[in-house]
Amino acid sequence: MTITTNVAPKYHEKEFSRRPATSTHEAILTLATGTVLAGLGLWRRGWLGTTLAAGGSYLLYCGVRDFHRPYQGRVRVGFTIAKDPQEVYDFASNPQNWARFMHAVQVKNRGESKFALSMGKPAGIDLESNVEITDQKSGEYIAWASAEQMFEHRGVIHFKKAPGDRGTEVAVAAEYKAPAGPIAKALTSLVGWDPEQVVRESLRHLKQLLEAGEIPTTTGQPAGGRGVRGAAMRVMFREGPSEDAVEQNRMAGD
Amino acid sequence: MKALCWQGRTKVGVEHVDDPSILNPRDAIIRITRTAICGSDLHLYDGYIPTMEPGDILGHEFMGEVVDTGSEVKKLKNGDRVIVPFTISCGQCYFCKNQLWSACDNTNPNAWMCEKMYGFSASALFGYSHMMGGYAGGQAQFARVPFADVGCLPVPEGVEDEKVLFLSDIFPTGYMAAENCDIKPGHVVAIWGCGPVGQFAIRSAFLLGAERVIAIDRFPERLKMARAGGAEILNYQEVDDLVEELKWMTGGRGPDAGIDAVGLEGHGVGMMAAYDYSKQRMKVGFDRPLVLRQVIRACRKGGTVSIPGLYGGILDKMPFGAGFNKGLIFKMGQTHMHRYMAPLLKRVHDGEIDPSFVITHRLSLDEAPEAYKTFRDKQDECIKVVLDPWREAKAA
């Protein structure tokens, strides 16, 4: 059984890049070796020197190129939900429910099977990714892929009957690439989450909604003075006291 | 309202904070009439539990009157007098449905924190660090109780608060510890730690049919209370080798089951104790499992080690070889409160046991910070502190 997750042919673009991504450590090692060799070569002169310099500069070029290789990641998260696969599928596949359980991501409908995933506007940068549902089968799976190459991601959600009478195993397998490593890393630090966290917390919220009927929270509960560190953290995470404020009714006691 | 807040290591204080409000449809607001300080609160006080923030409201043993309910609360109504269990359970997940209430999947909003540390998240707790949910606790005048229909146990008229308060934590904890020992007629149960949980474990062991209970501690007032519950007492500071002493007391067999009601702040002397203390100081060890090592060595072959005592990290130097060789059974975990609250309330109502025996100090909320120190250092013959959050402190 093949599930289609490639949307590129529709846009006449290259498929998910098949070049393997290099890790940052390898890139740094390459750069360092290149610098050392090039330096050595330029210092020594002569035939050996020229060879070393040539080799060194090639490694330098590789190192710089590696830093711009696609940043690649994989997400695999599973949760078991105590409801039948069809019921979970119907709830999860309905775009009207997405705002209720998706974490840190808003979804806007852009037409048939087309959606825009928005991660808000952290630090003034508009983060949006166009996404298409590429394949789905009721009660079994939904597959999606991003429709542009700026931030490539694709994945599948499976709904499988869990062993015994435990309900449904919901499994998400996804992979993502961003064209420049540093940019993707900056992305996660800007919005304060990484893709695995988004997927995992969204699935957890889905489970909590379907089983318990509500998502547990402590936002808005009372607390004592948070002190200097607490105030600093509020500034760092850009939480204002008004953001969590809930209309409090003064009760007897104070 | 007034609430007791964690302010730092060995620092708690009463602060004026906002009243709680309904945040989710299954919440209820309780006006707290009685609350207590638990031995596990001392781990928070001493700074052993991570993910605490200054301003966190402590307390997980409380009861009171319902003053507000969310739109989906069907069983409770304003005015009901209820006991609130310290674990929060949704009632709908696999674990709740299979009576494993303290393993609930759906009540911890910070489940990712717990998963980082333990791989999985159990149910949330009141007032016990952000890793365990970050819920505001019950050493206050009001509290918000999530999934109120599932948790809150209504109390019949005519039963005083003090008799039923401990159904919120320590009585079911001691009872589950004894039940986990799988006690059969003729069994001998040894209980390390005669704090409040140990005291209830002693009485529960007899309720469950044990023939003899051996209670181990070093504080005279705790041993005295243990003896009043029918146990034979053993002061470990007066014997050379506790394990040998227990063998002597049980005809060379060892006790049929051992209960570790001490947990991570085990006290001891000698080389092993010094080793554990120094590791904890240097933050390379989380727990001091001195007692657990003794329990494993002392239990008879094929016996059960029951662990209600709290542990948090990775244990070191455990005599697991002895455990394997003897074929021991280990049972542990946070109490599955919702299993025990109603049956134990019935026992209290029928007069089988009066849990208020364990109270030694009755104070106001303002006196609580001092009481933490008194409780921790076992001064003034302190065994259990109960607080009335509406009482004014007596003039000095």
Among B39-43, B276-280, B307-311, name the one with the lowest average pLDDT.
B276-280
- What value does the mean pLDDT of chain A take? 78
Domain map of chain A by residue range? 24-67, 71-212
- List, for residues B85-101, the tens digit of each pLDDT value: 999 999 999 999 999 99
Chain A residues near residue B90 by CB distance under 8 angstroms:
208, 211-212
Q: How many CB pairs under 8 A join A and B?
A: 131
Q: State whether B296 and B200 are in the same domain.
A: yes
Q: What percent of chain B has a predicted confidence (pLDDT) above 70?
A: 99
Please return the burial class of B396, using the count of CB atoms within 10 Å of its CB with bins 0-12, 13-18 and 19+.
exposed
Provide the β-strand partners of residue B140.
B3
pTM: 0.86
Domain assignment present for B396: no
Report the pLDDT averaged over residues A11-19.
Answer: 48
Closest to B175 (Cα-Cα) out of B299, B346, B300, B385: B346
Chain B residues near residue A225 by CB distance under 8 angstroms:
5, 7, 15, 54-55
Mapped onto helix, strand or coil, the DSSP state of residue A134 is: strand
Split at pLDDT 50, 70, 90, the class of A253 is very low
Q: What's the pLDDT score for residue A239? A: 60
Domain assignment present for B237: yes
Among 3.90.550.40, 3.30.530.20, 3.30.70.20, 3.40.50.720, name the CATH number for the domain at A71-212.
3.30.530.20
- Nearest residue on chain A to B3, judged by CA atoms? A224
From the DSSP assignment, how many helices (H) and strands (E) are in chain B?
A: 14, 17
Asked if A254's CB is within 8 angstroms of B106's CB, the reply is no
Per-residue pLDDT for A254 more than 50?
no
Chain B residues near residue A197 by CB distance under 8 angstroms:
112
The structure tokens listed for B89 are: 């359970």
Q: What's the pLDDT score for residue A196? A: 85
Domain assignment present for B163: yes
Q: What's the pLDDT score for residue A75? A: 87
Of residues A180 and B57, the one with the higher pLDDT is B57
Among A48-57, A207-216, B387-396, name the one with the lowest average pLDDT.
B387-396
Q: What's the pLDDT score for residue A146? A: 85
Report the pLDDT averaged over residues B312-319.
Answer: 89
Domain assignment present for B395: no
Q: Chain A closest CA to B7's CA: distance in Å?
A: 8
Q: What's the pLDDT score for residue A244? A: 41
Split at pLDDT 50, 70, 90, the class of A246 is very low
CA within 13 Å, CB half, A74: 3
DSSP state of B57: B
Q: State whether B7 and B94 are in the same domain.
A: yes
- Nearest residue on chain A to B14, judged by CA atoms? A224
Of residues A33 and B319, the one with the higher pLDDT is B319
* Residue listed under structure tokens 């952290």: A122
Domain assignment present for B101: yes
A197 neighbors A204 (Cβ within 8 angstroms): no
Q: What's the pLDDT score for residue B38? A: 95
Among A68-77, A171-180, B190-199, B215-224, name the one with the lowest average pLDDT.
A68-77
Closest to A175 (Cα-Cα) out of A199, A159, A193: A199
Q: Which residues 76-135 of B have a C-beta within 8 angstroms of A?
A: 88, 90-94, 97, 105-109, 111-112, 124, 133-135
Q: Which residues 305-334 of B have a C-beta within 8 angstroms of A?
A: none
Q: What's the pLDDT score for residue A203? A: 96
For B235, residues 6+ apart whose C-beta sits below 8 A from its C-beta are: B216, B217, B218, B223
CATH of residue B92's domain is: 3.90.180.10
Per-residue pLDDT for B178 more than 60?
yes
Report the pLDDT averaged over residues A63-70.
Answer: 68
Q: State whether B154 and B30 are in the same domain.
A: yes
Closest to B176 (Cα-Cα) out of B230, B228, B102, B83: B102
Of residues A153 and A248, the one with the higher pLDDT is A153
- List, for residues A37-62, the tens digit of each pLDDT value: 888 888 887 888 888 888 888 888 88
The beta-carbon neighbor of B136 closest among A167, A222, A254 is A222
DSSP state of B259: E
Per-residue pLDDT for B349 more than 90?
yes
Q: State whether B233 and B366 are in the same domain.
A: no
Q: What's the pLDDT score for residue A117? A: 80
Q: State whether B124 and B219 are in the same domain.
A: no
**Whole-complex ipTM:** 0.91
Q: What's the pLDDT score for residue A113? A: 81
Among B90-99, B331-340, B385-394, name the one with the lowest average pLDDT.
B385-394
Report the pLDDT averaged over residues B16-27.
Answer: 96
H-run or E-run covering B5: strand B2-8
Q: Chain B closest CA to A252's CA: distance in Å?
A: 8
The beta-carbon neighbor of B107 closest among A200, A216, A220 is A216
Q: What percent of chain B has a predicted confidence (pLDDT) above 90?
A: 88
- List, for residues B109-149, the tens digit of each pLDDT value: 999 999 999 999 999 999 999 999 999 999 999 999 999 99
Asked if B5's CB is within 8 angstroms of A225's CB, the reply is yes
- List, for residues B234-254, the tens digit of each pLDDT value: 999 999 899 999 999 999 999
Q: Which residues 187-216 of B have a C-beta within 8 angstroms of A?
A: none
Mapped onto helix, strand or coil, the DSSP state of residue B247 is: helix
Asked if B24's CB is within 8 angstroms of A201's CB, the reply is no
Per-residue pLDDT for A23 more than 70?
no
Per-residue pLDDT for B6 more than 60?
yes
Split at pLDDT 50, 70, 90, the class of A240 is low
Of residues A29 and A186, the one with the higher pLDDT is A29
B59: left (phi over 0), alpha (psi -120 to 50) or beta: left
Q: State whether B361 and B260 are in the same domain.
A: no
Q: State whether B320 and B340 are in the same domain.
A: no
| Domain total of chain B | 2
Domain assignment present for B159: yes
SS3 content of chain B, % helix, strand, coil (to 5): 35, 20, 45
Asked if A246's CB is within 8 angstroms of B23's CB, the reply is yes
Q: State whether B325 and B246 are in the same domain.
A: yes
Q: What's the pLDDT score for residue A242? A: 45
Split at pLDDT 50, 70, 90, the class of A249 is very low
Q: Chain B closest CA to A132's CA: distance in Å?
A: 29
Q: What's the pLDDT score for residue A150? A: 67
Q: Chain B closest CA to A20's CA: distance in Å?
A: 29
Please return the burial class of B340, using the count of CB atoms within 10 Å of its CB with bins 0-12, 13-18 and 19+.
buried
Q: State whether B132 and B176 are in the same domain.
A: no
- Nearest residue on chain A to B130, judged by CA atoms? A218
Give the A-side interface with B, CB within 8 Å. 80, 82, 166-167, 197, 200-201, 204, 207-208, 211-227, 229-230, 246-251, 253-254
| Structural domain harbouring B24 | 2-169+335-388
Split at pLDDT 50, 70, 90, the class of B329 is very high
Write phi, then psi, for B5 (nearest 5 degrees): -115, 145
Asked if A218's CB is within 8 angstroms of B135's CB, the reply is yes
Q: Chain B closest CA to A243's CA: distance in Å?
A: 14
Asked if A226's CB is within 8 angstroms of B57's CB, the reply is no
Q: Which of the residues A217, A242, A246 would you substitute to probe the B interface, choosing the one with the greatest number of B C-beta atoms within 10 Å? A: A217
Of residues A249 and B228, the one with the higher pLDDT is B228
- What value does the mean pLDDT of chain B take? 94
Q: State whether B200 and B297 are in the same domain.
A: yes
Q: State whether B201 and B149 are in the same domain.
A: no
Q: State whether B177 and B307 are in the same domain.
A: yes
CATH of residue B207's domain is: 3.40.50.720
Domain assignment present for B393: no
A145 neighbors A3 (Cβ within 8 angstroms): no
CB distance from B11 to chain A under 8 Å? no
Q: How far apart are CA B33 and CA B16, in angstroms?
A: 18
Q: What's the pLDDT score for residue A235? A: 74
The DSSP secondary structure of B89-143, one letter per residue, reads: --S-SHHHHTT-GGG-SSS-TTHHHHHHHHSS---EEBTS-GGGT-B--SSBSEE
Report the pLDDT averaged over residues A226-233.
Answer: 81
Q: What's the pLDDT score for residue A220? A: 92
Q: What's the pLDDT score for residue B9? A: 93
- List, for residues B36-49, the tens digit of each pLDDT value: 999 999 999 999 89
